[in-house]
Chain A
């Protein structure tokens, strides 16, 4: 492997990582507080999950197309679109974790004289942690895959290799894009699974 290719793989991998990292940060920054707010509001919860569900069903390439006229091409558009996709798994899993806390546990917390805030921070969130991290894990792994499409709108990342490989029937280029992306997904999966185990209560 020549050193120019190696340098390009390195550069695009970092770019890819940046896309994924910012996407997950933004999605989590919306979905986690969102889950806390929606946990006590069943009606709003149904609407929010419905919206994220719909966002999920729009093909990613089409979503890029829709966003282009408004915010143009480039990294920002890509991150916005990818964040919309990452919302659902994080929101749904966090909600499942919080709402799924045993009703008897919640009731005794309330009856023992804990305030709603104390119940949230000391009981519900700690018990929801495995579920929340699982949501982050799913979102991260899928975003690593989906982010390859960002290359189509000039946002860079490992997708650049894929675009080149497809258009020029260049197998090494395809591998140069696919292998690092796969490795990244596997590492993210393992790493977050480890965190999930570490943070599991009890």
Chain B
């Protein structure tokens, strides 16, 4: 068994993926170190979501290998592995028949924590994402606003304190104000819980705001891997395309 660098939570080596006879990812290499947020940026169909889903095994890796916590994915029990990776998607994907408490406590329950410890953990997590536990614990997802649902989704992903968080365009369907609030909350969270995250978005502003490093994907390959500051000065065609959209500040005449 090959052992990856000790500080790397996630290491993707020469990953290629095919789905339905279509090549989605070609020879992707990416290392995510502890505590950093790597944003996968790209337009629709560039493979960023597939890359994210390959990490937690929702999409089978074709060739290449993914190392999580120094261990190859093929060596992991996939269910155990997923419980060590929080997962947040657009519209949260909360269980509609469960209360906020049951949703947030899911992974701790799956890991057989005792009830008192789960309840305490749920309270802590709700506070962490800015929801008053007393008020929200017993609500159902349909009794929440979009932003609140997404906060619950993040709390659920933090459930059993996983070393890696995966975000798939979590804020894409929120209104701009709520989105900005949640982005700020995300930055705060990074200070308080110091989590490692892989974050998919097509929004270059969001990428610049949240990323430690940006991986710019195009046609299934990483065209550019750069810090936000480097990204702003980048000259690759896709980076230029994204930056052009950023500079074009439209104002009424």
A residues contacting B by CB (< 8 A) are 102, 104-105, 107-115, 118, 123, 126-127, 201-202
With both chains docked as a complex, state the minimum distance between the C-beta of B99 and any C-beta of chain A, in angstroms.
9
Interface size class of B (residues with CB under 8 A): 20 to 34
Residues on B with C-beta less than 8 A from A102 are: 93, 96
Chain B residues, CB < 8 A from A202: 96-97, 140-142
- Minimum Cβ distance to chain A for residue B92 (Å): 8
Residues of B bordering A, CB below 8 Å: 56, 58, 79-83, 85, 87, 89-97, 106-107, 110, 140-142, 156-157, 159, 166
Decide: A104 near B97, CB < 8 A? Known: A111-B56, A112-B82, A112-B87: no
Q: How far is the CA of A114 from the CA of B109 in the complex (A)?
A: 11
A108 near B96 with CB under 8 A, answer no
B80 A113 Cβ-Cβ under 8 A: yes
Chain B residue at minimal CB-CB distance from A106: B93
Contacts A113-B79, A202-B140, A202-B142 given; indicate if A105 touches B93 (C-beta within 8 A): yes
Q: Which 4 A-B pairs have the closest CB atoms?
A: A201-B97, A108-B93, A113-B83, A113-B82
Q: In the complex, what residues of A have CB within 8 A of residue B85's CB? A: 111
Using A104-B93, A107-B93, A108-B93 as known contacts, list a sample of 18 further A-B pairs with CB atoms less than 8 Å apart, ordered by residue number in A. A102-B96, A104-B91, A105-B93, A105-B96, A107-B58, A108-B87, A108-B89, A108-B92, A111-B85, A112-B83, A112-B106, A113-B81, A113-B82, A113-B110, A114-B110, A126-B97, A201-B96, A202-B142
A120 to chain B, nearest CB (A): 14
Interface CB pairs A-B, < 8 A, 20: A102-B93, A102-B96, A108-B92, A108-B93, A109-B95, A110-B58, A110-B82, A111-B58, A111-B85, A111-B166, A112-B110, A113-B82, A114-B110, A126-B97, A201-B96, A201-B97, A202-B96, A202-B97, A202-B141, A202-B142
A201: which B residues are within 8 A, CB to CB? 96-97
By a CB distance below 8 angstroms, the chain A residues around B93 are 102, 104-105, 107-108
Residues of A within 8 A of B94 (CB): 105, 108
Contacts of B56 in A (CB 8 A): 111
Q: Give chain A nearest CB distance to B50 CB in angstroms.
A: 13
Contact (Cβ within 8 A) A112 B140: no
Kindly list chain A residues whose C-beta atoms are within 8 Å of the C-beta of B58. 107, 110-111
Docked-complex contact A113 and B107, CB < 8 angstroms: yes
For B159, the closest partner residue in chain A by CB is: A112
B89 touching A104, Cβ below 8 Å? yes
Among A107, A114, A123, A126, which residue has its beta carbon within 8 angstroms of that of B89?
A: A107
B90 to A, closest residue via Cβ: A104
With a CB–CB cut-off of 8 A, which chain B residues contact A111? 56, 58, 82, 85, 87, 89, 166
Query: Which chain A residue has the least Cβ–Cβ distance from B153?
Result: A108
Quick one: which of A107, A108, A110, A202 has the most chain B CB within 10 A? A108
A111 CA / B198 CA spacing, docked (Å): 14
Nearest chain B CB to A157's CB is how many angstroms away?
39
Assembled-state Cα–Cα distance A105/B149 (Å): 13
Of the candidates B81, B110, B156, the one having the most CB atoms from chain A within 10 angstroms of its own CB is B110
In the bound complex, do residue B95 and residue A123 qualify as a contact, i.e. CB atoms below 8 Å apart? yes
Residues of A contacting B82 in the complex (Cβ-Cβ under 8 angstroms): 110-113
A35, B244: Cα distance in complex, Å: 53
